[in-house]
Every structure is written in structure tokens, then in C-alpha cells.
Structure 1
Amino acid sequence: MGIVTAVPGTSSAVPPEASVVVQDPLVIFDGGKVTTTEQEIAPLAVKEREEVTRFVTTSPDTIENPTFWSSPAYEYDLGNLVASVSTDSSSFTYGQILITPIKGWIRYPMKSVSPTPPGQYPVIVFLHGQHTPADPNYRGYDYLAENLATHGYIVLSIDANAINADGDQSGQSRAQLVLGTLDRLRQINEHGQVDKNGNAGALNKLKGKFDFERIGIMGHSRGGQGVANTIKFNKNRRGASYAGLAVALSVNPTKYITAYPDFADVFIPKTAKTVVSLDEEKFRAAIAKYNIFYAEGSDTASPYDFRAAFLLAPTDFGGNKDLNGVPLAALLPTCDGDMLNLQGAISYDHNRFGNGSDTATRYQIAVQGANHNYYNTTWINDDFSTTAGPGHCMANHTDTIRVSDEDQRRNGLYLINSFMRYHVGGEQQFASWWNGMAQLPEAACPVGRGPCDERVILTIQRNEGQRKLIQHFASAESLSINSLGGPVTSTGFNNLARCDMPDGARSAGNCSPARIAGFEFNSWGGSGLRSIAEHAELSWTKAGATITNDLLGTSAAPHDTLSFRIAVVRPMGQEVLVTLTDNVGKEATIEASDFSGALYNAPKTKAEGRPMIDDPIDKPYSTGQVKMLLNMVAIPLKAFAGIDLNNLKELKLTFPKDRGKVALADIQFQTLGRDQFGPRMVAVQNKNSKAQ
């Protein structure tokens, strides 16, 4: 039961008459499953050499080829949930009861351009963060919702303002609100939306239309922490009860009187001969009037099938750990002035490997020039603008990296919606970007003009079956013995340290022999290295410093990519020469900057001598205000031409710049699916063949 009304001014978006979905014209790879689009790549008549490039295609955008009309946005109010608030963000010990409305906006596909529309639609849930409770924060993602609805998704954005007003920092009640909202929708899916008299509501037409086996969840800021907790609590629910609500009201009888006045007199006062007692009749009447229900526990509710979780500039107050079994993405806006310390980097590092049975991929997305607020259209203030000092991101700098609110949402529309459509909807046309092999579409770039791949740095971590660690830096011996058991040698470094990953959310790991200056981790600040993964810290003052791993004849098969994570600390840009040598002495060297934007701490392309030459315009950035993150460099193994990849002798990383400080982590072979896409073939005209 509840009230659902159409929101004026949100009438349906109409797709164009021609709505033929154009698939990526390449073979698509997705976690071991290979499918082929209708368009095949014709074999070249002449193939004398292969050019292995960073990108093999350009991703389609998320705007083109809508296949449905979107409903208008509907404002729903489906009752009130009794949830529990924790006093901490890690063990989630019992705190108190909280009542939160089940309210928000919902959009859904209305009419398909296809004569045979699907019977059910995937479900996407958005959860906003801790902003002014008086503002309609949940309405700020409607640009995402409308776009998804036109491509066949039911999308709802949850109103969590009652939790904002209550101040639950643990995120437990936010998780219960997400799960409680899905419980209400599951009731609608099974029984329709009707009132007590049997009158159909506006959502009654969605009976049987929700596909609860395909759900995606996105949380922004503290909503991100709420989404992390949703994953954890999904299989181990924490419930609330009638008795718990009664106890909470007896302990704090005035807390809910403003919003729920009928609770004011549900207790019979004590007399000389009696104690305070509950007036059961009045209590039940108030519960019925306010359409109250209770967060379910594991004994009464079955878990939901989450196919994707997106943490948008999330908080991580207690350690968003053990987020297993769900493809997970953490977006880090490098000009975030609210989450200045980019706590989402901590969430990513704590969860990047998962457990042995976990097959889900993890992603970190660093977006250069984005702030915290502009992904939500209701949050109109620039959260970075009041930050003191010249700053890495300040708009008054000559060569600012900042983007406008419109450009930031344009980029967010692609990143968030393509992630959901790929992982929740199984839309393979987006696989190429999320596997690190496609350029961003122009629609995702500032003012809709590309290329702009230097704006977004994608880090991918495959599961245990799709990776082979070479050097993990997880043990005290890892600077001398790698994960394969081979020796490691380092030459030319002034300082070398290995740092642990801390258990906590806001602390730096211990480093041996000591953390190097410039890498300092300020738990509440924006300077220093923001990533916390196990890593090595390196500094040198003479070109040619080298770290070499003995690979002991290891085969790279069945993997297709050599990857490592690197954070550039000083100066703004670095080069890494990556050399593979096989057991017969053949070697090949690749410039890492040819395959990654991770080697420069600003959104700049490899040009004008960069990254080997320091750009004078970057001098104001050199005072430690750059957001330093461990980002991925991924080099296709086929780029190492002439090497026997089945019998490898050593891997050497050389730093050719005359000085520098970097952090290094997670050197490994990974399977990203590049072989299924194939290298871009370059035909070299053969005069003899032509003559014949």
C-alpha cells in the first residue's frame, strides 16, 4: 500500500524512430564468455606485421539507440520502515531504532520500439549521501534514471533524508533502507500495488515486471558506504521488530512525535500501583496509520541477486571490507573537496582481490577534474571552490583541469550507466571499455568532443583464476623474493621501502625501513598517497634506476596482459621502460606511457616530451597538492614482439627520468580479453604480392 504520483515536468523521453542497436564491431569478451556480434572483421589480404595499440575500438555511448519510451518520474511513498542504527561502522553493534519513510522517485520503460518487449526488466537502485535533509537529494540522479529507462531498466532513487537528519554514520540503516525498499517492490511484483480497498495504484502495472535476479546498486558519498553495507547485509540481514520499536519509544518517547504524533500517547502512565505499560490497541492503530513495517532478518528474507555495485565518491568510515561476489567499481573524483581524502581508494584496495571463490571483477576509476557534488543535479555548489591555496584543481590556474557541472555529468552518465548496462543487463557493447581496450565515446568528453581518455584512468583487478601475481609486496621478503619464488634485484635507488596495507579505514600501513618523504598519508587530508594497497616506495636521483624480477621460466599463458599499479609522487610525470626477456635471451622493451595515462598526475596526453620533460605550467602542482593514487598500467603481451611468452626469464622496470618518487604495487599477468578482440592489424603493401 502507498501513494504514487507522477511528477509534473518529467514526461516520457521519446526514442527516435530508428532504434537499431549497433553492437561493437569486434568480438566481445566477458569474464571467460565469448560472443560474436553480427559484424565480423574481414581478414586482411596482406598481413605483414601487427601493430598492437592501447585501444582497439571506441566504445558506443549510452545515449544512442534507445529502445523504449521512459515513463515520467513517479514520486512513491510506500510506508515507513523501522530500521536500526549502529554506533560504529565496523562491528555494527546495536545502537537505536530509526523510522525512515520508503520514499523516492521511480522510472520504468513504458513502450518498446520492439514488437516483442521483454517480460521483465532489470532493476537499478540509486542512494544519495549526507546532504541537507531539506533538499530533495534523491532527485539529482534523474538524468541517469531517464536514460536507463529508455534502454529497458526500472530505476529508482531512494530518499534517505530521514537518515540524514538522524545522522547514522555507520551506514547500517542506509543498507536496511535499500533492502527494505526492494522488499516493498518485491511485494508489488508479486501482488501488485493496491490499497486496503483493492484499488490499483500507479505501480500496479509493474506487477511481475521486476527482474530481481538482475539488480544494480549505486551509492554516492555516504550512500556509497550504505551500498557497501547492503552487499554485506544482503546475506546476513539485521532485522527490526515490533518489540524493538516499543522499547525504543519507551526509552525516547519524544523522538518521533513530530513526524508520527500518534505515538505520543501509546504508553499508559504509571500510577502508585502500576508501572508504565504499552497501550497495545493505540500502538497497533498508529502502526497501521503510518503503514509501518520492519527491516527483515535473515530468517525471513531471501537475499537479492546483485549483479553490480558502484561506489561513487564513497565514504569509508569503518572499512568497507568483504564486498564479495559482486562486480564492484569505486569512482574517485580527483578534485573532490568533500571526500578530500578519497576514501573510495581505501574501499577499492581492501576489496580488490576478493576471496578464492570470488569471480567478480573490481574496478577503480580516477576521474581527473571531477568534484564530489556535480554528479547530483541537486547538489549545485562546487565543493572544491572553498579549498585554500592555489591547489591542484583550482579554477583560477592557467591550465586548470576542472570540468563544468554539465561536463562532469556527461562523463558520469557514461561511466555509471555503461557499468550497469554491462554488468546488470549483459549489454556486451560496453565490454571493450570495461576491459580496458576502448576509447571513451565523444559524448563522455567535455562539451561532447573527444578524445579525452586522459580524463579517466581505469584500474582493473581480475579474479584468482584470471591473474598470476609476479610481485605483490605483501610480505617482508617481497623486495627480494617475488610471488613466483624468483629473486628480485633493485639498483640505482636512493631509498626503497615496503609498506603494508592497514586493516583500518583511516590509517597508513607500516613501512620498512621507513616511509619515504612525500608519500605521507594524512587520514583527513588530500595530500600524500591516497591508496593503501601493499606497495613499494622508490626514490632515485639518477636516470636508470631498475627493479628486476626473475620469472624462472614462467609462462604468461593463458593471460594476455602485463599490468602493474603505479603512483607518481614526484615530479608530475614519469616514464617506465618495461622489458621482458625470454629464456633464449630475446628481449623487448615497451614505453609504458604508450599504453596508459597513469604516469602523469594531470589529464594530459603523451606529447611535447611528456612525461620525460616536466611541463613548466605544472610547477604550482608540485607542492604536494596532487591527488596521488595507485593506477593501472596495462600492456598487451603481444606488444612484446618476438618474445617466447611461454618461457620467460625476467621482467625489468627501468625509470629513465633523472629523478623521481613512485609507489609500485600488484605486478601481474592478467586476462583482460584482448586476444578475443584481436590486435589492430596494419596492412603493409607488398609490392611482390601486388605484382603477382
Structure 2
Amino acid sequence: MRMPPRILRRHILTATAITTATVAVGAACSSPQPEVVGSAQVSTQDGTARAAQLTYDFGDTAYAPPGLDGKRMELKAAVTYPRKLDGGKHPVVMMLHGWGDTCAKADKPVRSQDWPCSKDAKSVDNYLGYSYLAEALADKGYIVVSVAANGIQAQEKDDGHTARAALLDKHLKMWQQLGTGEGPLRELKQFTNHVDLNRVGTLGHSRGGGGVLAQALDSHKRPPGVNIRGTLALAPAMNGISADKERITRIPLSVVAGTCDAMWKDSKIPVAMASGNPNVEHHDVPGGNHNFFNTVWTPGTGPAFATDDVAVDKRNRPGGKCQSTNGTGTIQQLKPSEQRETAIRYVTAFFDKYVR
């Protein structure tokens, strides 16, 4: 399986913290997975005219998912949601980023496999790279939760997909409790009685795509009361998933991949795994690469080490063209804004069809 090269770089977005609150942690239960530790800091960001934004963060060592050999990671997410939540319950979309640089010092990435980051380094905000998708979905009435997973990518070996699926389940469990005003996030009262966990969509990019696929497997046991109605994978990396043994036949599935992305061939694997599933889509993005789906990994919107992975993989051609990996020849490469607009169309159409 292709190891995401130094391509997957992310921009360190600086959120404007307006208010800070503390969320008490619920009592431990009998689950074999350790419960969250400590309390969460909640920061409210500016958002847009129609979408409000906040971030909750239980700390860098709040959770030990299966698949990390007992190692701990962060429990953190950015939430984008309609400013008016008075229209009953809203569907939820969970987002999960892929593999990339975890920590950075100034303009340089720190490529060690340590977590948390050293005191002189900052965690790269990979999870904020899909804000454009979150805002588009929030405008249509969705509550969008973009989950941070740097602790997994810094420490994973061959079972990262298991850890990612469990991480998504952990956040969903907290949102399930919050929906009735309980649990670790219960101080976020604006969401009480406005969360519909019977209408959940999941979206993952790169190894995050592998994570949402792992959660969508027929063999995976999701939290009781949570109904995932659609899973969308952007250029998924299948690291660790036994594609010859596992199946995805119960949840509608969409796979979207750029034709100038080396991961395009792998994007066909989940389609084969979903044989017999009546609701499966695969969409080529002509001229699309791997990184431009995430603004944090994109030059111009990311940090100094953000990269156009088509150029890194030496598939660029004169005149801004790239050699397609789907056998369609040389094609004009999409600009980052064009690739994001394409992603918005596919993502909103899919979730409107199966989740909304």
C-alpha cells in the first residue's frame, strides 16, 4: 500500500477563540475502551453568516482506541452547524482526515512518530482542511463534526483503520448522549434535542477514507442507536483492511478520486468490496490530485510545506497538465478551487440523497 508521501501536508489554521467553556466528563462505564480523561475546552470561532463553528478538545491523551496497542491520542473535533437549530433534529456528518505531518516547528514539519508533539512544536490542524465542505453542508441543515486523528497517524502500525473506526464511534457515542443533554459534551446545550443520530453520514479522505470504510464494514459493530445512512470516501487508502474478506453491502457508498492521483487505482477496491450493494457510486474527478481536497495540504492555503502531490510524484506535464492514472491520457490539472467545488457537488448530492 502506498505510504502517503511527504505530500500530505497541512496548513495550521488559527481559529479565533471567542469564548471558552469547560465540559465535565461523564462517569466511566463498563466499556472495555477507556473513557475520556479530564474535561474539554470549547472554543467558539467566527463561522459564516449561516454556519456557526466551535471546537471541543479533551486533550492530546484523552483516549486509547483499539488498534494502537494501548497508546493514547487526542479527542478533539471541529463542529460546523446551522446558526438556527430551532427546526427540530438535524442530520449529522462525521469527517475524518488522512495521514500527513503531525507536528511542525515554524515552517518545517517534524517527522518523528512521537505523540503528543514536543513542547517546541505545534500539532498540525489536519482536521480543519475540510471546512469548505462543512460549511456547504451546514448551509443545508447538517451538523458536521470534523474529527482530529493526529495521535493515530503518529503512532499507528498496521491496524490504524481499526483505531480510526473506533475513534468515530467514540465521538458518535458522545453526540448520542449530548442529544438528550447528557454525557461528556452535555454543556453544549444548543444541540440538545437537535441531533438526529438516526441520520448519520460519514466522510473520510485518504487514510481517513479507509477509516470510514472500516466503520462501514458489514462486520463492524457500530454504537447502538446510530444509523449510518451513507459513507463517502475521498481517494481512500485501504491500509490494513482485508479487502478480500470484508464486505460493505448494507450502507450506501460513494467513492470520489482524482484521475491524477496515484491513489485512483485503490479507489476501485471498496467498489469491489461492495458487490451486491444496490447503492454504490464511483466518481472520477478529471485532473484532480490527492491533496487539494484538504486546504491544509494545499499550497497557498496550507503551510510552507504544503505540496501539490502531482508535482511530487513527477506526473506533471507542460501547460499545467498531468498524466491520468485512469488511462485517459494527459489532462489539464484542476486548480485547488476547482477541485473543492467538484467535491462540494459530489458530497452534498450524496448526503442529500441518502442522509438528509
TM-score, normalised with respect to structure 2? 0.72
Q: Deviations over 1:197-231 (max 9, x none)?
A: xxx73x22111211000000001000111111112
TM-superposed deviation, 1:192: 4.4
Q: Structure 1 pair 111/367, CA: closer, same or farther in 2 (3 Å)?
A: same
1:617 corresponding residue in structure 2? none
Q: Give the counterpart of 1:111 among 81, 84, 101.
A: 84
Q: Does 1:81 find its partner at 2:63?
A: yes
Equivalence for 1:310: 232
Aligned to 2:37: none
CA contact (8 A) 1:193 1:204 kept: no
Give matches, 1:458-607, under 5 Å.
none
**1:147 counterpart = 2:136:** yes
User: 2:344 aligned with 1:419, yes or no?
Assistant: no
* 1:3 maps to 2:41: yes
Deviations 1:57-111 (A, max 9, x none): xxxxxxxxxxxx211x21111462221117xxxxxxxxx1232221020011122
Partner of 1:172: 162
Q: In structure 1, what residue type is equivalent to 2:101?
A: T
Partner of 2:111: none
Residues 664-675 of structure 1 mapped to structure 2, 5 A cutoff: none
**Whole-Å separation in 2 of the counterparts to 1:121 and 1:84:** 30
Q: Tell which has more relative contact order, 1 or 2 (C-alpha 8 A, sep 6+).
A: 2
Distance across 1 between alignment mates of 2:183 and 2:318 = 51
Q: Which residue of structure 2 lines up, in the alignment, with residue 222 of structure 1?
A: 207
Q: Deviations over 1:358-404 (max 9, x none)?
A: xx41111111100001011101121110233666996389x742110
1:173, CA displacement in angstroms? 0.3
- Specify whether residues 205 and 410 from structure 1 end up closer, same or farther in structure 2 by C-alpha distance, changes over 3 A only: same
| Distance (Å, rounded) in 1 between the aligned partners of 2:285 and 2:319 | 12
Aligned match of 1:369 in 287, 292, 301?
A: 287
Q: 1:12 to 1:193 in 2, by over 3 A?
A: farther
Q: Which amino acid in 1 is paired with 2:47?
A: S
Encode CA deviations 1:436-483: one digit per residue, 9 max, x unaligned: xxxxxxxxxxxxxxxxxxxxxxxxxxxxxxxxxxxxxxxxxxxxxxxx
CA distance in 2, matches of 1:314, 1:149: 24
Contact 2:174 2:184 in 1 (8 A): no
Mapped contact 1:12–1:70 kept (Cα < 8 A): yes
Q: In 2, Cα distance between the equivalents of 1:388 and 1:216?
A: 35
CA deviation vs aligned residue, 1:575-602 (integer Å, no higher than 9, x gap): xxxxxxxxxxxxxxxxxxxxxxxxxxxx
Show the counterpart of 2:321: 395
* Rounded Cα–Cα distance in structure 2 between residues aligned with 1:102 and 1:234: 25
CA deviations on 1:591-646 (whole Å, 9 max, x unpaired) are xxxxxxxxxxxxxxxxxxxxxxxxxxxxxxxxxxxxxxxxxxxxxxxxxxxxxxxx
- The superposition leaves residues 284-317 of structure 1 with CA deviations (integer Å, 9 ceiling, x where unpaired) of xxxxxxxxxxxxxxxxx51520010001100123
Q: For 1:322, what is the secondary structure of its paired residue?
A: coil
| CA separation of 1:103 and 1:393: change in aligned 2, threshold 3 A | farther
8 Å CA contact retained: 2:197, 2:225: no
Q: How does 1:288-367 map to 2 (within 5 A)?
A: 301-302=223-224, 304-317=226-239, 318-320=241-243, 321-337=246-262, 339=263, 342-354=265-277, 360-367=278-285
- Could you tell me whether the CA contact under 8 Å between 1:192 and 1:205 is conserved in 2? no
User: Contact 2:218–2:249 at 8 Å: present in 1 too?
Assistant: no
Secondary structure of the corresponding residue to residue 332 of structure 2: coil
**1:515 corresponding residue in structure 2:** none
Name 1:99's counterpart in structure 2. 72
SS in 1 for 2:250: coil
CA distance in 1 between counterparts of 2:199 and 2:219 reads 14
* CA deviation profile, 1:106-157 (whole Å, cap 9, x unmatched): 0111227xxxx53100000110000111220000011111111121110010
Mark the CA change 1:153 to 1:100 in structure 2 (over 3 Å): closer, same or farther.
same
RMSD: 2.6
AA in 2 matched with 1:412 = A
> Secondary structure of 1:336's partner?
coil
**Which residue type is aligned with residue 55 of structure 2?**
E
In the alignment, residue 70 of structure 1 is paired with which amino acid? A
Instruction: Say which SS state the counterpart of residue 281 (structure 2) adopts.
Output: strand
Aligned pairs, how many?
A: 279
